[in-house]
Amino acid sequence: MSDNLLHKDIQALIARLKHQDLNLSALEKSLSRLINDEINLEYLKACGLNFIETSENLITLKNLKTPLKDEVFSFIDLETTGSCPLKHEILEIGAVQVKGGEIINRFETLVKVKSVPDYIAELTGITYEDTLNAPSAHEALQELRLFLGNSVFVAHNANFDYNFLGRYFVEKLHCPLLNLKLCTLDLSKRAILSMRYSLSFLKELLGFGIEVSHRAYADALASYKLFEICLLNLPSYIKTTMDLIDFSKCANTLIKRPPRSRYQEIPSPFSLFERTKGLLNMVKATS
* Whether residues 72 and 60 fall in one domain: no
28 vs 132: which has the higher pLDDT: 132
- Is the pLDDT reported for residue 50 higher than 50? yes
Residue 261 lies in a domain: no
* Whether residues 58 and 82 fall in one domain: no
Instruction: Tally Cβ neighbours within 10 Å of residue 125.
Output: 12
Residue finishing a domain among 64, 98, 116: 64
* Whether residues 271 and 176 fall in one domain: yes
Residue 260 lies in a domain: no
* Whether residues 50 and 133 fall in one domain: no
Contact 220, 93 (CB under 8 A): no
- Is the pLDDT reported for residue 29 higher than 80? no
* Whether residues 245 and 141 fall in one domain: yes
* Whether residues 10 and 81 fall in one domain: no
* Whether residues 60 and 10 fall in one domain: yes
Total-model pTM: 0.84
- Is the pLDDT reported for residue 61 higher than 90? no
* Whether residues 119 and 23 fall in one domain: no
For the segment 26-34, the average pLDDT, to the nearest whole number, is: 68
Residue 205 lies in a domain: yes
**The pLDDT value given to residue 265:** 40
pLDDT, one tens digit per residue, over 113-156 is 999 999 999 999 999 999 999 999 999 999 999 999 999 999 99
* Whether residues 153 and 37 fall in one domain: no
pLDDT, one tens digit per residue, over 156-176 is 999 999 999 999 999 999 888
**The pLDDT value given to residue 273:** 45
Residue 45 lies in a domain: yes
- Is the pLDDT reported for residue 258 higher than 80? no
Residue finishing a domain among 36, 64, 92: 64
**The pLDDT value given to residue 25:** 78
* Whether residues 10 and 137 fall in one domain: no
* Whether residues 72 and 135 fall in one domain: yes
Q: List the CATH number of the domain containing 181.
A: 3.30.420.10
For the segment 64-84, the average pLDDT, to the nearest whole number, is: 96
Residue 132 lies in a domain: yes
What percentage of the chain carries pLDDT values higher than 90?
57
What percentage of the chain carries pLDDT values higher than 70?
80
For the segment 60-71, the average pLDDT, to the nearest whole number, is: 90
pLDDT averaged over the chain?
Answer: 84
Contact 59, 21 (CB under 8 A): yes
* Whether residues 160 and 77 fall in one domain: yes
112 vs 249: which has the higher pLDDT: 112
279 vs 82: which has the higher pLDDT: 82
Total of domains in the chain: 2
**Which range (56-70, 106-120, 216-230, 256-270) has the least confidence?**
256-270
6 vs 88: which has the higher pLDDT: 88
User: Structural domain of residue 33, as residue ranges?
Assistant: 3-64
**The pLDDT value given to residue 141:** 98
Residue 78 lies in a domain: yes
**Per-range mean pLDDT, top range of 11-20, 230-239, 263-272:** 230-239
Residue 188 lies in a domain: yes
Residue finishing a domain among 48, 64, 80: 64
**Which range (10-19, 117-126, 182-191) has the least confidence?**
10-19
**The pLDDT value given to residue 120:** 97
Residue 54 lies in a domain: yes
- Is the pLDDT reported for residue 6 higher than 60? no
**The pLDDT value given to residue 253:** 55
- Is the pLDDT reported for residue 231 higher than 60? yes
Whole-Å CA distances, 235 to 9, 80, 186, 266: 34, 36, 15, 23
Q: 261 in the Ramachandran plot: left (φ > 0), alpha (ψ -120 to 50) or beta?
A: alpha
